[in-house]
Amino acid sequence: MDHSSLGCLKTIPQVMEQYRESMAPALICEGGSLTYQDLIRDAKKIACCLRRSGVRKGDRVILSIKRSADYVRVWLGTLFAGAVQITFHDGWPERLIQAAVLECSPSLVIDGSMTESFLTCRIPAEEISRISEMTDTLQGSDPFQIVYTSGSTGRPKGVVNSHFSAVDQTLAKASNRLPRYFVQNCERLLLDCSLGFVLSSYCICLCLLNGKTLVLPRREDLRTPASLEACVRRYQVDTIHVSPSRFLQYRSDPAFAQLLRQIRLLLAGSEPLSEYAAGLMCRSGCGEVIFIYGASELFGPYLTRFGRDYSGGAITYPISDYDGEIHILDDGKKPVKKGEPGELCIGGVSGKQNRYYSSEALNAEKYFAHPDFGRLYLTGDLAKEVNDGEIALLGRKDSMVKLFGIRIEPDAIEKRIMEYPGMRQAAVKVIGEGNEARLWAWYCGEGIEEQALRRHLAGSLPTYMIPSFFVKLDELPINHSGKLDRNRLGPDLCGRSDHPQRGM
């Protein structure tokens, strides 16, 4: 298909209609494969069943379906019905799920048994034709999903992503360097993350809106480097996503090294990226590395850096690689001067169309109506412009903590620790309250002596920013999404809760 002809398409079903006669493989999983023709036919059939069940345009539908071809069928079928799909994170506690369900008031919850009945139901051809007519009434600004964040603040936030934000972010076109590279060089992408993450929907759209093949592995295929390598080899996968924490955890495994040599594209993101990890990824032996940095509120990656363009040092992201508006603003919402830090704010399609569900106060706070630039999403990321038209990320605005009345940035301490020779991973956090509060550091690396590390930090940091306690681990804890699990960082990780207060 000529991707240059798709500029007028604004919704996911509109783009998918281009492939309704295609016999190319759309989906591969344990149960076999589906062509685009089969997938779209099944999705429209499911859409008819949803309409018969009373689901209407804009209704919320929860997908409670295991990793399978049926999940992708229903995911797409929900959109053809004009509804809004919701998938919760793996392993979420019941209280968070119930809070989200209460907020979004779904019209339907679809499980595996319902999917089977949908697919075996006899639907007249004219009824399926009406589905295609109905999807023509969808607008690009209409929502297609609600992604619930992990609820680290105690209450999940529902991010509403529009159809056009997905199309704009993933369709291969001249201004979308990542999708364009994927379309020109790759064929099969492995979907290895939780189906509840925005990255899952991003990968589905990146494949299906560009006529490529999505590979959906079983859970057991993702458990070890060896099982993951076998899956990549079995299904001839050429594109994977790996978080920096997961990469550092797996990098010494021979099976993972073999996996990297088989792929053409490694997408590296989901969490902040250290210079150490970036350098290792660039030397990993894969065809290309693309560092990505994004947010659920923007439907995935909004800044990218190709590994071929990285020559060491702090990662910077070219503004020109993003087809949207990027601004760095001070606390008064005024643009900062070049080289000065401020909050990274994003406009473009996603910044202007996406929102939070049922939270006008949060929308007003995070999706800010700027008098000069229009509606912007305030990312909460600190950044500054460096060189000519490049962005350097400096950490989170809310990462600053107070210790004995002094503002401290754990990110800055972590960066200094990572500069020590042989260091692989590091994390810093305040534990305790009031007079009992102390800075702790957890790290892993080879040949590192604590006193030498302390001297290294003392050469560049004030005394109050040097952690009281250092804990050496074989690996830092990682959560189910492959990110560093800061909630598990505590005294119990080293087996002792009564450390003497050294280094004060």
- What pLDDT score was predicted for residue 495? 38
- What pLDDT score was predicted for residue 159? 93
CB-CB neighbours of 333 under 10 Å: 17
What DSSP string runs through 90-111? TT--HHHHHHHHHHH--SEEEE
Give pLDDT < 70 ranges for the chain: 1-9, 150-155, 174, 321-324, 398-402, 404-405, 407, 434-435, 480-481, 494-504
- What pLDDT score was predicted for residue 378? 93
Which tokens go with 269? 């993101």
- What pLDDT score was predicted for residue 112? 85
- What pLDDT score was predicted for residue 137? 87
Handedness of CA 258, 259, 265, 270 (dihedral sign): negative
Q: Model confidence over 248-306: pLDDT tens digits?
A: 888 889 999 999 999 999 999 877 788 888 889 999 999 999 999 888 888 978 888 99
CA dihedral 213, 214, 219, 222 (to 10 degrees): 70
- What pLDDT score was predicted for residue 238? 96
Q: Where are the beta strands (DSSP E) in 401-491?
A: 401-403, 406-408, 423-431, 438-445, 469-472
What DSSP string runs through 142-153? SEEEEEEP--TT
Report the DSSP beta bridge partners of residue 148.
158
Helix (H) or strand (E) holding 273: none
- What pLDDT score was predicted for residue 405? 62
- What pLDDT score was predicted for residue 6? 44
Exposed, middle or buried, 498 (CB in 10 Å: 0-12/13-18/19+)? exposed
- What pLDDT score was predicted for residue 301? 83
- What pLDDT score was predicted for residue 276? 83
Helix (H) or strand (E) holding 486: none
- What pLDDT score was predicted for residue 389? 84
Report the DSSP beta bridge partners of residue 63.
110
Query: Which parts of 151-239 fold into alpha helices (H)?
Result: 163-170, 177-185, 198-208, 225-234
Whole-number Å distance between alpha carbons of 396 and 409: 9
Phi, psi angles (nearest 5°) of residue 18? -65, -20
For tokens 């994003």, name the residue. 346
Taking the model in full, what pTM does it have? 0.84
What angle in degrees, to the nearest 10, is found between the helix axes of 254-262 and 225-234?
30
- What pLDDT score was predicted for residue 132? 80
- What pLDDT score was predicted for residue 93? 76
Q: Model confidence over 338-386: pLDDT tens digits?
A: 999 999 999 888 888 999 997 788 888 899 899 999 999 999 888 999 8
Whole-number Å distance between alpha carbons of 53 and 461: 63
